[in-house]
Amino acid sequence: MKILIPIKRVVDYNVKVRVKSDGSGVDTTNVKMSMNPFDEIAVEEAVRLKEKGVATEIVAVSCGVAACQETLRTALALGADRAILIETDVELQPLAVAKLLAALAAEEKPELMILGKQAIDDDANQTGQMLAALLDWPQAAFASKVDIAAGVATVKREVDGGTETVEMKLPAIVTTDLRLNEPRYATLPNIMKAKKKPLTTTTPAALNVDVAPRLTTLKVVEPPKRKGGGKVADVKELVAKLRTEAKVIT
């Protein structure tokens, strides 16, 4: 079984992000970039499936600028067998990524694609679902346990109020939640071996996908600073303030 794992290069989770002065987005110059943590969980799950003998090949794929190769090398160091970069300088939105992945899936014919449920930069939580729709594959988003047997994936999903277990026929889409696994560290020998694993590059044009943005970002701003609280003399004043100032009761 071949598994395709799409991964995204994002601002490292330790970095305190700054909004660009013109409000057009987040400043990423000279900022440490890493693999989206949810995607690390996806890579780990794929590697575990391969170690169990369920998967035979793991292909990591990333869409974006040339520097995404570094992130793909990380996936290779963690255990992916080869990597594909769909290179573009265009700012990619979830639908464009889903279309690129769908086109690539048509070529690669994986039986399972594991994605992070969302990326920690835009938190869109859309690509996996859109991809399933485009491919017309079954999907199990927010997975906390995955079992594969006889062409069927049994997935425990995190849902409001608990977990739900679903079964779906392969090929299928899984997106990862935090509890699915704890990703391993890349070992030094595997970091060295990753250098020699194949990494090929293609483009949206070669996949015949139009990646032009469909959404326009109007403005990016810092969250408002918390204002200091105040003290009220009694319940009466509190109720009055909730009604007239906070306007949360009528």
Partner 1 sequence: MSTYYAPLAEMQFVMNHLAGLEQVAKLPGFEDATPDTVAAILDEAAKFATQVLDPLNASGDREGSKLLEGGVVKTPAGFKDAYLQYCDNGWNGLTKSPEYGGQGLPQLVATAVEEMWHASNLAFDLCPLLTQGAIEAIELRGSDALKKKFLPRMVAGTWTGTMNLTEPQAGSDLAAVRTRAIAQGDGTYKLHGQKIFITFGEHDYTDNIVHLVLARTPDAPDGVKGISLFVVPKFLVNDDGTPGARNDVHCVSLERKLGIHASPTAVLAYGDHGGATGYLVGEENRGLEYMFIMMNLARFSVGLEGVGISDRAYQRAVTYARDRVQGRAVGLEKNAATGAIIDHPDVRRMLMTMRAYTEATRAVAYVTAAALDNAANNPDASARAKAQAFADFMIPIVKGWSTEVAQEVAALGVQVHGGMGFIEETGAAQHLRDARITTIYEGTTGIQANDLIGRKTARDSGAVAKAVVAEIHKVAATLAARSEPSLQAIGVALAAATADLQAALDWMVPAYGQRTRAAHAVAVAYLKLWGLAAGGWQMGRAALVAADQQAAAGGGDPAFLHAKIATARFYADCLLPQASAYARTVLHGSESVLALDVEAF
Single residue of 22, 123, 136, 185 touching partner 1 by CB under 8 A = 185
Q: Mask of contacts with partner 1, 29-68, x by CB under 8 A?
A: xx-x-x----------------------------------
Restricted to residues 70-89, the positions that interact with partner 1 (CB under 8 A) are 70, 73-74, 77
Tokens of 167: 């079964």
Instruction: Answer yes or no: are the C-beta atoms of 43 and 5 closer than 8 Å.
Output: yes
CA pair distance 100, 202, nearest whole angstrom: 11
Q: Which residues of 88-118 are buried (b: 16+ CB within 10 A; e: fewer)?
A: beeebbbbbbbbbbbbbbeeeebbbbbbbbb
Single residue of 186, 201, 202, 242 touching partner 1 by CB under 8 A = 186
Per CB under 8 A, 191 contacts partner 1: yes
* Shortest Å, Cβ 32 to partner 1: 7
Single residue of 162, 189, 223, 224 touching partner 1 by CB under 8 A = 189
Measured from the CB atom, the residue of 79 and 94 that comes closer to partner 1 is 79
Question: At a CB cut-off of 8 Å and minimum separation 6, what does 133 contact?
Answer: 98
* Shortest Å, Cβ 143 to partner 1: 24
Measured from the CB atom, the residue of 50 and 73 that comes closer to partner 1 is 73
Measured from the CB atom, the residue of 27 and 57 that comes closer to partner 1 is 27
Per CB under 8 A, 192 contacts partner 1: yes
Per CB under 8 A, 194 contacts partner 1: yes
* Shortest Å, Cβ 11 to partner 1: 14
Per CB under 8 A, 160 contacts partner 1: no
Instruction: Answer yes or no: are the C-beta atoms of 13 and 123 closer than 8 Å.
Output: no
Is the bond into 204 cis (omega within 30 degrees of 0)? no
Size of residue set near partner 1 by CB under 8 A: 19
Single residue of 150, 188, 246, 249 touching partner 1 by CB under 8 A = 188
Cα dist. 230→239, 241, 245, 250 in Å? 14, 11, 12, 21
Residues near partner 1 (CB under 8 A) are 14, 29-30, 32, 34, 70, 73-74, 77, 185-192, 194-195
